[in-house]
Structure 1
Amino acid sequence: MILKSTIDRIMEATDIVEVIGEFVHLKKRGANFIGLSPFVNERTPSFTVSPAKGIFKDFSSGKGGSAITFLMELEKFTYPEALKWLAKKYSIEVEEEALSPENQEADNRRESLMIVSGFAAKFFHESLLDTDEGQAIGLSYFKERGFSTETIKKFELGYSPDQWEAFSSKALKEGYKEEFLLDSGLSVKRDNGTLYDRYRGRVMFPIHNFTGRVIAFGGRTLKTDKNVPKYVNSPESEIYHKSNVLYGLYFAKKAIRDEDNCYLVEGYADVISVHQADIENVVASSGTSLTVEQIRLIGRLTKNVTILYDGDAAGIKAALRGLDLILEEGLNVKVVLFPDGHDPDSYVRLVGTAGFKKHIDDHKKDFILFKTDLLLKEAGNDPIKKSEVIRDIVESIAKIPDSIKASVFIKECSSLLQIDERALLSELNKMRQAKAKRDGQQSADKMITPYEDYPVVEEIPQEHQETYSQEKEIVRLLLLYGNKMIDWDGIANTYIGPFMVAELNDVEFEHPASKEFIKLYSKEVENGVLPEDQHFIHHPDKEIVDLVVTLLATKYTLSENWYEMHKILVSDEQDNMKATILSAIFHLKKHKVGKMLESLRNELAKAESPEDQDILLTQYMRMKKVEKTISDYLGSVIIK
Structure 2
Amino acid sequence: MAGRIKDEDIALVRERARIDEIVGSYVTLKNAGGGSLKGLCPFHDEKSPSFNVTPARGFFYCFGCQEGGDVIDFIQKIDQITFHEAVETLASKVGIQLRYDESGAPIQRGPGNQRPRLVEVHKVAAEYYVEQLFGAPEAAPGRQFLDKRGFDRDAAVLFGVGFSPRGGEALTNHLRQRGFTNAELVTAGVSAEGQRGLYDRFRGRLMWPIRDASSDVIGFGARRLFDDDKIEAKYLNTPETPIYKKSKVLYGVDLARREIAKSHQAVVVEGYTDVMACHLAGVQTAVATCGTSFGEDHARVLRQLLLDHDQFRGEVIFTFDGDSAGQRAAIKAFEGDQAFAAQTYVAVEPDGMDPCDLRLEKGDAAVRELIGRRTPLYRFVLGNVLSKYDLDRADTRIDALRDAAKLVVSIRDRSKVDAFTRELAGLLGMEVDQVRPEVHRAASRPAAAPQTQQGRTPVTTTTEAPAPPPRQDLPSPRDQRFVIEWDVLKVAMQYPHLVGAAFDELDDHDFTHPWLAAVRGGMEKIGGPAAAAPGEAWVVGVRDAIGNDPAAAVVGALAVDPLRLGREPDDLYALALVARVQELTCARRIMDLKSKLQRTNPIDKADDYNRMFGELIALEAYRADLRKKAITGAI
> Do they superpose with TM above 0.5?
yes
Equivalent runs, 1:546-625 vs 2, <5 Å = 546-552=553-559, 554=561, 557=564, 574-575=575-576, 577-578=578-579, 580-581=581-582
Hey, what does 2:201 align to over in structure 1?
A: 198
Match of 1:551, SS state, is helix
Once residues 559 and 130 of structure 2 are traced to their aligned partners in structure 1, the CA distance between those partners, rounded to angstroms, is: 53
Hey, what does 1:380 align to over in structure 2?
A: 390
The higher-RCO structure (CA 8 Å, 6+ apart) is 2
Contact 1:275 1:281 in 2 (8 A): yes
**Amino acid aligned to 2:353:** H
Pairing partner for 1:125 from 118, 124, 127? 127
Superimposed CA distance per residue, residues 396-426 of structure 1 (whole angstroms, 9 cap, x where no aligned partner):
3333322123333232222112234355444
Once residues 288 and 466 of structure 2 are traced to their aligned partners in structure 1, the CA distance between those partners, rounded to angstroms, is: 27
Pairing partner for 2:286 from 282, 301, 313? 282
Match of 2:305, SS state, is coil
**Amino acid aligned to 1:393:** A
Pairing partner for 1:259 from 249, 259, 263? 263
Contact 1:59 1:555 in 2 (8 A): no
Deviates more, 1:220-229 or 1:198-207: 220-229
Contact 1:199 1:219 in 2 (8 A): yes
Hey, what does 1:408 align to over in structure 2?
A: 419
Match of 1:299, SS state, is helix
Hey, what does 2:330 align to over in structure 1?
A: 319
Match of 2:219, SS state, is strand
Hey, what does 1:224 align to over in structure 2?
A: 227
Residue 124 and residue 371 in structure 1: after superposition, are their counterparts in 2 closer, same or farther (change >3 A)? same
**Amino acid aligned to 1:258:** K
Superimposed CA distance per residue, residues 346-403 of structure 1 (whole angstroms, 9 cap, x where no aligned partner):
1112322223223433x32222222233333332346666555444433333333221
Contact 1:310 1:337 in 2 (8 A): yes
Contact 1:129 1:139 in 2 (8 A): no
Hey, what does 1:479 align to over in structure 2?
A: 493
Residue 233 and residue 383 in structure 1: after superposition, are their counterparts in 2 closer, same or farther (change >3 A)? farther
Residue 392 and residue 291 in structure 1: after superposition, are their counterparts in 2 closer, same or farther (change >3 A)? farther
Residue 54 and residue 289 in structure 1: after superposition, are their counterparts in 2 closer, same or farther (change >3 A)? same
Hey, what does 2:597 align to over in structure 1?
A: none
Hey, what does 2:361 align to over in structure 1?
A: 350
Equivalent runs, 1:388-467 vs 2, <5 Å = 388-435=399-446, 453-458=466-471
Once residues 412 and 149 of structure 2 are traced to their aligned partners in structure 1, the CA distance between those partners, rounded to angstroms, is: 42
Once residues 629 and 184 of structure 1 are traced to their aligned partners in structure 2, the CA distance between those partners, rounded to angstroms, is: 77
Superimposed CA distance per residue, residues 185-229 of structure 1 (whole angstroms, 9 cap, x where no aligned partner):
33222246x222221222222222222222222222112359621
Match of 1:244, SS state, is coil
- Cα RMSD of the aligned pairs, angstroms, is 4.9
Match of 1:242, SS state, is coil
Residue 55 and residue 312 in structure 1: after superposition, are their counterparts in 2 closer, same or farther (change >3 A)? same
Contact 1:61 1:455 in 2 (8 A): yes
TM-score for the superposition, normalised by structure 2: 0.72
Hey, what does 2:211 align to over in structure 1?
A: 208
Residue 392 and residue 229 in structure 1: after superposition, are their counterparts in 2 closer, same or farther (change >3 A)? same
Deviation at 1:146, TM superposition (A): 2.8
Contact 1:55 1:549 in 2 (8 A): yes
Residue 545 and residue 80 in structure 1: after superposition, are their counterparts in 2 closer, same or farther (change >3 A)? farther
Contact 2:88 2:98 in 1 (8 A): no
**Amino acid aligned to 1:495:** A
Hey, what does 1:621 align to over in structure 2?
A: none
Contact 1:328 1:400 in 2 (8 A): no
Indicate whether 1:43 and 2:54 are aligned.
Answer: no
Indicate whether 1:236 and 2:235 are aligned.
Answer: no
Deviation at 1:155, TM superposition (A): 2.5
Match of 1:400, SS state, is coil
Structure 2: state its 5+ residue gaps. Answer: 307-313, 449-462, 476-480, 593-611, 626-635
Contact 1:579 1:637 in 2 (8 A): no
Residue 300 and residue 524 in structure 1: after superposition, are their counterparts in 2 closer, same or farther (change >3 A)? same
Superimposed CA distance per residue, residues 564-619 of structure 1 (whole angstroms, 9 cap, x where no aligned partner):
xxxxxxx988437446248669989x99xxxxxxxxxxxxxxxxxxxxxxxxxxxx
Hey, what does 2:631 align to over in structure 1?
A: none
Equivalent runs, 1:104-183 vs 2, <5 Å = 106-130=108-132, 131-133=135-137, 135-183=139-187
Deviation at 1:516, TM superposition (A): 7.8
Once residues 120 and 572 of structure 1 are traced to their aligned partners in structure 2, the CA distance between those partners, rounded to angstroms, is: 54
Superimposed CA distance per residue, residues 285-336 of structure 1 (whole angstroms, 9 cap, x where no aligned partner):
2342221221222222333011222332333234323323124533312222
Equivalent runs, 1:507-522 vs 2, <5 Å = 515=518, 518-519=521-522, 521-522=524-525
Superimposed CA distance per residue, residues 479-517 of structure 1 (whole angstroms, 9 cap, x where no aligned partner):
3675346xxxxxxxx8124555xx67x99x996896587
**Amino acid aligned to 2:493:** L
Match of 1:243, SS state, is coil
Once residues 234 and 120 of structure 2 are traced to their aligned partners in structure 1, the CA distance between those partners, rounded to angstroms, is: 24
**Amino acid aligned to 2:201:** R
Structure 1: state its 5+ residue gaps. Answer: 438-449, 486-493, 561-570, 592-626
Hey, what does 2:608 align to over in structure 1?
A: none
Deviation at 1:344, TM superposition (A): 0.6
Superimposed CA distance per residue, residues 104-142 of structure 1 (whole angstroms, 9 cap, x where no aligned partner):
864542341452244234224323424425643434433
Once residues 581 and 220 of structure 1 are traced to their aligned partners in structure 2, the CA distance between those partners, rounded to angstroms, is: 71
Once residues 396 and 120 of structure 2 are traced to their aligned partners in structure 1, the CA distance between those partners, rounded to angstroms, is: 53
Hey, what does 2:193 align to over in structure 1?
A: 189
Match of 2:244, SS state, is coil
Deviation at 1:475, TM superposition (A): 5.3
Once residues 477 and 256 of structure 1 are traced to their aligned partners in structure 2, the CA distance between those partners, rounded to angstroms, is: 35
Hey, what does 1:594 align to over in structure 2?
A: none
Tell me how many residue pairs correspond in the alignment. 563
Deviates more, 1:276-285 or 1:399-408: 399-408
Once residues 585 and 111 of structure 1 are traced to their aligned partners in structure 2, the CA distance between those partners, rounded to angstroms, is: 53
Match of 2:233, SS state, is coil
Once residues 401 and 206 of structure 1 are traced to their aligned partners in structure 2, the CA distance between those partners, rounded to angstroms, is: 37
Contact 1:472 1:514 in 2 (8 A): no
Contact 1:123 1:167 in 2 (8 A): yes
Superimposed CA distance per residue, residues 150-197 of structure 1 (whole angstroms, 9 cap, x where no aligned partner):
3323332222221222233443454434334333333222246x2222
**Amino acid aligned to 1:122:** V
Residue 520 and residue 577 in structure 1: after superposition, are their counterparts in 2 closer, same or farther (change >3 A)? closer
Match of 1:276, SS state, is helix
**Amino acid aligned to 1:299:** R
Residue 536 and residue 523 in structure 1: after superposition, are their counterparts in 2 closer, same or farther (change >3 A)? closer
Match of 1:284, SS state, is strand
Residue 142 and residue 368 in structure 1: after superposition, are their counterparts in 2 closer, same or farther (change >3 A)? same
Hey, what does 1:371 align to over in structure 2?
A: 381
